[in-house]
Amino acid sequence: MWQQILDKFRRYPAQEKVIRLILARGFQINDRGRVVSGEIEIPHAQIAKELDVDRRVVDTTATAVREDEQLWKVFRNVRSMTFLGEVAPAIGLGVIEITPVDATQTGLLGEVAGAVARYGLSIRQAVSDDPYFVENPKLTIITEGKIPGDLVRLLMEVDGVRRVTVY
């Protein structure tokens, strides 16, 4: 489905940049064709500045989404989430970052979660980058406690794991 969304903007590279940012940040398009996060409106000029595009490109992209019923069903309902990856060490949580061989491989999350559970660690959060939006997707596991070295070695043995990084 994500590829279908991106394909609608493929002929318009600047608009595709806007769509990618909106999806990556979990922003929505409201019924007035404005980019929002919940009820907070994100100024189109700010989005344009970050992407180095004209503000009218953001306006046109948001309007195109609002006028396409299929796109609007997605973009009025997408949501952002709190990601603990960068703050976890500061609050005493463990972070395991898995770089997969192939991010579309089936079962990698289950294998990693099983290995973490065997070490008695509770998983607080598991976030997998979407390979359609992220060039080098990773799986990030936030655990209740610190990561033992033996677990890292076990994770390296999981089929499909290229690299394990612990923070």
Six token digits for residue 139: 């799986």
**Residue 68 bridge partners (DSSP):** none
Give 44-61 pLDDT, tens digit per residue: 999 999 999 999 999 999
Above 90 in pLDDT, residue 134?
no
The residue-averaged pLDDT of 14-37 equals: 94
Query: Dihedral of the CA atoms 83, 88, 94, 97 (nearest 10)?
Result: 40
What is each CA distance from 154 to 94, 126, 166, in whole angstroms? 16, 18, 13
In the sheet that holds 123-128, the strands lie side by side as 123-128, 139-143, 94-100, 161-166
In order of start, what are the domains of the chain with their CATH numbers?
2-75 (no CATH), 88-166 (3.30.70.260)
